[in-house]
Structure formats: structure tokens, C-alpha cells
Amino acid sequence: MGSGFSAILVIEAIFICIVSFISINLFYHKHTELLYNESAEVLNLYFSRVEDRLREVENLSFSILSDLTIQEHFNNINDYGETYEGYMSQQKARNKLLYKLFLVEGIESIEFIDNNNQVIHAGYKTKVQPSADIETAKKIAYETYGTGTWETNLSGDGSISFVRLIRSITNPGFNPLGVLVINIDVNSFMSYSSVISSKFHSDILIIAGDDLVYSAGQHPVNAELLSADNYFPYKIKNIDGENYFITERKTDYVDWRFISMIRCDELLADINNLKRLVIVIFILSIVLSTGIGFNFSGLITRTLVRLSRGMKHVEKGDYNVVLAEPDGRLDIEEVSQLRHNFNIMAKRIDYLVNDVLKKEIRIREFQYKILQQQINPHFLYNTLDTIHWMSLGYGCDKISDMVRSLSNLFRGALELEDIVTLNEETRFLKDYITIQKIRFEERLDFRMEIDDEYLGLLIPKLTLQPIVENSINYCLEKYEGICSIRIECRKRDSWVELSISDNGPGMEQEFVRKLLSGESKPTKTGIGLKNIDERLRIFYGDEYGIIIESGIGKGTTVIIRVPTDEKASA
């Protein structure tokens, strides 16, 4: 057995050598690819950082236009002009803008151009001064209708500015007050040292159109990189005799391109050195491990023989078998661990056979006794009923109504059949609305118009209530204002349509499709629209179910199509 084991070691060593050399080459190519991906990820990190900082500036502009004090100063500046009152309003507005400037790092100055082309400046450096720059800024601001936009070279000096039209929010007509210009310090604002390692000396370029907005680094930049027609995710390009790995990313947030340049010899230097080192270490390891393997093969073989004998004892039911430690001083940790684990396994089997089975029986008996003592649902109904009458006795009518409605809801959810009449379903819904009306008061406007002739229709239980609950969740809990919900019933040919309409924010058609297909899960606990649609189709057929009509800002209407009473009974 020892000779056979040694022969296996030799064969394994040869096989490992062949496979390992192939693996090293594959590893080299894979690691090179990972380095390329890592350099691309560096650009993504920088890209995300710049986007976040741009958003900070936009948020700052919004805080300025929504500041009522600043709004008052801007109104006074336009109303009083060059009078004393106008001058004081300019000073107060400048102080407020200077305070806002320090809220976001990297802002060079904030300027406000009033309707008379007077410029209020706050900051370190004036950007908008010549009349041509003022008119350009105003034209850009008015073209964006107040949403704001990023502009480069507004003053012709490589500057980057955010321009936004300021309107009066206290005037019903939202009259223009002027133009806000936020100028940023390009070098400070676009600094990338915190997100990019200096190991590879990566250069970052920011290009707007065909103009270079920002460049960090010493590597050459040619016209081909600046051209917007040469967009590429990543490639290797030779520039002035040097190969560069270049990655690029576009953004829809601003019409800019982000480019990263890294010299290939810097990027792959470590992996080439590592490849040579791994080959040397691997050869030495194979030689050493093969020699040690021959010396210890006898020890391993003897241990395996003793282990085999111990297993035969366990097979015969002798779980008290223990493998003794070797007589010699030399031992292998893994072999010792194997022997130790075998002894633990034998003791564990004996424990499981003799103890665990008995404990499991006792646990089952205990669980059964607990199950027998669980509270009866009727006890809960009686308790709620007692609270209801006690509330009436103390004059707490709203509490009484809520408890009675809650009791009806709980009883209906547990006791009603899976298929109920429309009359039973609407009674269940009315109890739910009673609770919500007490909760939201005048903010909930609910109306239900169903003729008596349709109250005998059969529908699955809990069809209307989850849909109304969704309307309340999205209209009342997320938005201010009054939520109007209407339920109507109309006859169409051979079927009846129940429509539940609300005046909520509405949904995009793609989101509606995902709701009905199950791709989008409901955000609240309960029965989703997809489950309701499937229950209707199972009960009535595929030609029936749910139709959703919705649009952003147009509210949502859920139409439940069910057959007439005669067809449902057939």
C-alpha cells in the first residue's frame, strides 16, 4: 500500500506541474483583465464623486431660491433700484449669499443678476461682469425655465458655472426676480486624489462637447481624445510612442465626458513581476512537497489503516471505539485532526442514539400541550365586544366605532368563505373605511355607488379592500392633501365592471405592467394586485380579472371585470 501511495504522489506532482503552468498563464491574463476593470472602476468612482458634488451645488441653488428672506431681498432690489432701501437690500442679500457659499466646498463665488442687469457678487472672484456675459447668462437661464443648467467658459476663462432663473415664490404670478450664477473653483471642485490611487499616475480629463473642461496629470492630450465623435468605453491607444489604457464614460446628467489615462507599463508592472515570482516559488514548492510527501506517506498509510478498523467497529454498533495516539513522536496535524474528529463522531452518534431521541419525544409532547392551550378566536371577539360596550358607556364613540369595525374585520377575514357576495365584501370594506376615516378625518373622501341589483354578485373575499388600501397608502401616507376614492359598478355586455378610482400621483405604464406580472412586489404587507388578478382569473376564467389605468399626475383607476350573476352561477 505504501508503494502505491508513493506512485500516486509522483503522478500527482507531474499533473500538478502541467496544470499549474497553464493556470499561471490563465491567471496572468485574467488578472490583467481585472486591472483594466479596476482602472475603469476608478473612473466610475470619480464620476460618481463629481456628480454628487454637482448635485450639491444644484441643491444649494434650490435652497437659495426657496429662502423667503433672500426672496424678500431680491424683490426689494428690483423694486427700489439704486435707492438707499435698494442698497441695504443688496448688502443683506450679499451677506446671505456669502453664508450659503460656505455650505458647499469648492464654490468660488455666487452672483445674482437682477432685472436691471445689476450684479450682486459674493465670494472670492468675480466671473460675470461684461455686459455680454450678463446677457449670455440671462439668455441661458430663461431658456431653461428655472430648472438650471451647467455652463462652461461663461466668462471665457475655462470657468464652470451653474445658471438658474430665480422666480418669486410669494407672488402668484411667479415673476422673474433675476438670474443666479454659482461659479466653482475647478481645481478644488474636481480634485480626485481622495478616490484615485496615485500608484498608477492616472490622468483624468473632463470634456464638454469638444472643449477640455478639466485636466489633472502630465500625460499628453491630442485632438482625437477631445472629439465627441470618438466615444469608446475603453481601449489601448498609442500616444507619442507610449501605450495608454484609456477608459471613458458619458453622463446624461450633464453633457460631459470623463476620460481616464494610465500608462500600460505602469499598470502591468506588478503583475509581470508577480508572474515571475510565482513560477519560481511554485517550482521550489513542488520539489519540496514531493520529497516530504514520500517521507510521510508511510505515516499517513498507517493512520488510515487504523481509521478503517475503527469504522468497522462502528459499523457493528460499537460506538465506544477510540483511536489511540501513535506510539512515535512524529505526527501530522491533519491526520491527528482526522483521528480526533473520528473519536468525536463516535461519541456523538452514541449521544444521538441514546439521548436526543428521548428529548425529541418530550419536546413534541410539550409543544402539543402548548397548542392545546392557545387562545380561542372567539375569546378575542368577546374581548373586542366588551371594549366596544365599555367605550359606549364612557361616551367614547370613536373608540367604540373603531373597535366594532376592527372586530368585524377580524371576524370576516377568518370566518367568511373564500367566495362571498358583493354585499358582504362591501360591508367588510365599510368597516375598513370607518377605521381609516377616524384616522385621516377630512383628508379621506370616500364614495361608493353600487346599485342593489349587483349586491348578489359573487367575488373572491378580500378583493376590494386591498385595492382601496393601496390607494390610501400611496395618496395619504406619502402626499399631503385630500385623497378621493370612488367605487362604481356598471354592466357591460355579459360582464360587470367594478372601478376603484383615486386622485393619487399615478404610475407609469411600465410599473403597472410589472405590478400585474409580479416583477414588482407591493411595498406594504398584504395581498398584491397580481394575487387578486390571479384569483379572479382562476375563479371566472382568463377573460376576467384586473385592468389598471394610470398615468403620472392623473391618478389611478383599477377595473375589476367579473361575469354577471347568472354566468357566475352557471
How far is Cα 459 from Cα 535, in angstroms, rounded to an integer? 9
CA distances from 124 to 100, 117, 185, 195 (A): 13, 21, 10, 27
pLDDT for 219: 58
User: What pLDDT was estimated at residue 566?
Assistant: 45
For 497-552, the DSSP string reads: EEEEEE-S----HHHHHHHHHTSS--SSSS--HHHHHHHHHHHH-TT-EEEEEE-T
3-class secondary-structure state, position 451: coil
Model pLDDT, residue 487: 94
Rg (CA), the chain: 39
Whether the per-residue pLDDT at 1 is higher than 50: the answer is: no
Global pTM exceeds 0.85: no
Could you read off the pLDDT of 20-48 as tens digits, one per residue? 777 777 776 776 677 667 766 766 777 77
What mean pLDDT is predicted for residues 132-142?
81
For residues 63-90, average pLDDT: 88
Q: What is the pLDDT of residue 485?
A: 92
Over residues 119-128, mean pLDDT: 76
What sign does the CA torsion over 265, 266, 268, 270 have?
A: positive
Angle between helices 464-475 and 529-540 (to 10 degrees): 160
Least confident of 111-115, 184-188, 314-318: 314-318
What confidence category does residue 492 fall into, taking pLDDT thresholds of 50, 70 and 90? confident
Q: To which H or E segment does residue 142 belong? A: helix 131-143
- State the pLDDT at residue 447: 92
Looking at the predicted structure, is the pLDDT value of residue 76 above 60? yes
Q: Pick the residue with more confidence: 70 or 158?
A: 70
Phi, psi dihedrals of residue 123, rounded to the nearest 5°: 145, -160
Is residue 331 pLDDT above 50, yes or no? yes
Cα angle: 444, vertex 417, 498; to 5 degrees: 45
* Of residues 191 and 139, more confidently modeled: 139
- pLDDT given for residue 285 in this prediction: 74
pLDDT at position 488, please? Answer: 94
Asked if pLDDT for residue 363 goes beyond 90, the answer is: no
What burial class does residue 494 get, using C-beta atoms within 10 Å of its C-beta: 0-12 exposed, 13-18 middle, 19+ buried? exposed
Least confident of 18-27, 138-147, 452-461, 500-509: 18-27
CA distance 222 to 197: 24
Q: Which of 282, 280, 285, 233 minimizes the C-alpha distance to 259?
A: 233
Portion of the chain with pLDDT greater than 70, in percent: 65
pLDDT band at residue 522 using 50, 70 and 90 as cut-offs: low
Comparing 403 with 329, the larger pLDDT belongs to: 403
The share of the chain scoring above pLDDT 90, in percent, equals: 6
Find the mean pLDDT for residues 132-148.
81
Between 441 and 300, residue with greater pLDDT? 441
Q: What is the pLDDT of residues 371-415, one digit of tens each?
A: 344 444 555 555 666 665 666 666 666 776 677 767 677 666 666
Report d(CA 403, CA 409) in Å as an integer.
10
pLDDT in tens, 190-205: 665 555 555 556 677 7
Residue range 66-189 in CATH 3.30.450.20 = yes
Least confident stretch, 57-66, 306-315, 331-340, 540-549: 331-340
User: Which segment of 349-353, 448-452, 560-564 scores lowest on mean pLDDT?
Assistant: 349-353
More confident residue, 254 or 189: 254
| Per-residue pLDDT at 525 | 41
∠ CA 491-494-498, nearest 5°, is 40
* Average pLDDT, integer, range 287-312: 69
Q: Where are the domains of the chain?
A: 66-189, 319-372, 447-569
pLDDT at 230: 58
Question: How high is the pLDDT of residue 568?
Answer: 44
User: What average pLDDT does the structure give for the chain?
Assistant: 75
Residue 276: is its pLDDT beyond 90?
no
Q: What is the dihedral of CA 81, 82, 84, 86, to 10 degrees?
A: 30
Domain 447-569 CATH assignment equals 3.40.250.10: no
d(CA 462, CA 460): 6
Furthest C-alpha separation in the chain = 109
Task: Report, as an integer, the average pLDDT of 293-302.
Answer: 65
293 confidence band (pLDDT: 50, 70, 90): low
Range of weakest confidence among 219-233, 528-542, 548-562: 219-233
Cβ neighbours of 476 (radius 10 Å): 20
Mean pLDDT of 103-116: 86
Is the pLDDT reported for residue 453 higher than 60? yes
